[in-house]
Amino acid sequence: MKVGIIDYGGGNLRSVANALLALGQEPQVIASPDQAAGVTHLILPGQGAFGDCMERLENRGLDTFLKDWIAADRPYFGICVGYQILFDSSEEAPGVRGLGCVPGRVRRFRDEPGLKIPHMGWNSAVATGGESPVWHDLGAEPYFYYVHSFFPEPLDPAVCVAETTYGTQTFAAAVGRGRLFACQFHPEKSQDAGIRLIQNFLKP
């Protein structure tokens, strides 16, 4: 096994790398497709904006590389913006195309009285329909750490692995399909539950 962390010039690589080191893995940083030789698992720890992330990936030739990787059902773990870019588009960046690997769009939280945006801090995630091996042994309602103003809305509810509610709005906290798994929260900042999630992703 060789784990690669996608570096598009804007992600939180260090925290994810530290989580992998704690699991006995020495990740390889990948800033271009030619650096991915021998890699078996990919993690994209995104931070920042949808449009900026897509532009940086395209400039490095990583957008097509990622689409081909995911289409081949090779292990991919997307975090935060690394989750959002899997979808077709985002209200955050009108006119910018996402990878389109998961049909749907990314929406902004609706304004509600007393609701702070961004959604920041700890919140629970409830498993929904079906079984994902990445979600194994996490308990009925694990807590994870979130920092976001936008969330994906998949067209096919069957890909949703877990849901989280913020205010009156419930959104897909995580999706899974084949060897693809992605989540809106930050497992690398979510203590034991987050480490368990990453460990499950690395299992054969």
Task: Find the catalytic residue in 41, 119, 148, 186.
Answer: 186
* Catalytic (active site) residue 160: no
Question: Each residue of 58-80: b (16+ CB within 10 Å) or e?
Answer: eebebbebbeebbeeeebbbbbb
Distance (Å, rounded) from C-alpha 204 to C-alpha 101?
22
Q: Please say if 136 is a catalytic residue.
A: no
Active site residue 92: no
Which of the residues 53, 80, 101, 160 is marked catalytic? 80
Q: Which of 53, 119, 148, 188 is catalytic?
A: 188
Alpha carbons 7 and 127: distance in angstroms, whole number: 30
Query: Do 80 and 152 form a contact (C-beta atoms < 8 A)?
Result: no
- Report the catalytic residues: 80, 186, 188
